[in-house]
A and B are shown apart, each in its own frame.
Chain A
C-alpha cells in the first residue's frame, strides 16, 4: 500500500482478522448509544414496576409466591424482545448489502458473526436481566420474599440469561441459514409460545424446554426452575438448563460454520 508508512498496521490474522474493529463497533452499538439505557428503562419499567404492584398493592398476596411471579415477568417477555432485536441482525445486513461491504474489508466471516453474537449477548444480559434483576433483588428482599442468598439469586439470573441466549442464538442462526425475514422472526416466536402446547401434549418435554426455566411445567410437577434455584430448593430437573446450554453452543457453531460459505 502506497503512502501508509506513518500508520501502525492491524496485525490480526486468520479468524481474528477484523475482530477487534467489529467488536468495537458491535459494543458501541449498545453502550455508546441510547440503546443500553432505553432497554434498561423498558425492562425495569415492565419487570420492576409490575413486581412492585404485585408485592405491595395486591390484596392477600402470598409473599412466598413472589419469586414465581418475578420469574414469569422476567422470563416470558424479554425473549420476545431478543427475537425482535436479533431478527434483522444478520439477514438485514445480508439483504441490504452492508455484510458484503464489511466483508470486502480484511475481516473474517467468523469475526463478523462473533461481532453479532457477543455484543448482543452481553447487551441483552445486562439490560434485560442484570440491571432489572438487581432492582428486583432489592424489591424482593424488602418484601420478605424467600431468597436463599444473593448467590442463589445470581445463579437464577444466570439461568435467565441462558434463556435469552437460547433465543438470541436461535434467531442468529436462522438469520444465517435463510434470507427470509419472516422465517427468522416467526420460527422463534412460534417456538416461544408453542412450548406450552408441546408440554400439554408431551409432559416429558419439561425436562428439555426452556419454558420451564421461568414458568411452571404444570401443576403436577411443581414450580419453575429459576424460582426454585433462587429459593434454594432443588429444582424438579436440571434438564432444561443443560438442554438450553447445549442448544446455545450448537446454534452458535452452526451460525459460524454456515456463514463461511454464504454468498453475499
Chain B
C-alpha cells in the first residue's frame, strides 16, 4: 500500500459515487456535477496506478491533461444544451415531472 495506490482507490470510490449520482439524481445540472466527479475519479485511477508501479510517469499525466481539457469543453457544451433545453421546455429534468427533487431556486 503506497500513497499513489491510496489515491487510485479513492478514484474508484469517486467513480462509484459519481455513477450513483448520475443514475439517481433528477436535476440535469446535478447529473452534470456527478458526471464530472466520475471523470475526476477516472483521472485519479489513471495517474495513481502507474505511479504505484514505476514512479511518476509522464505519459498518463499527459493523457490526463488532455482529458481534463476535453472534460471542461464537454461540460461547457452540456451547460449550453441544458440551458437551451430549459429555455425551450421550462423543465430542468428529463422526466416529465413538474418539480424535480432538489430544484431549489436560489
Are both chains from one complex?
no
Interface residues of B (CB under 8 A from A): none
Interface residues of A (CB under 8 A from B): none
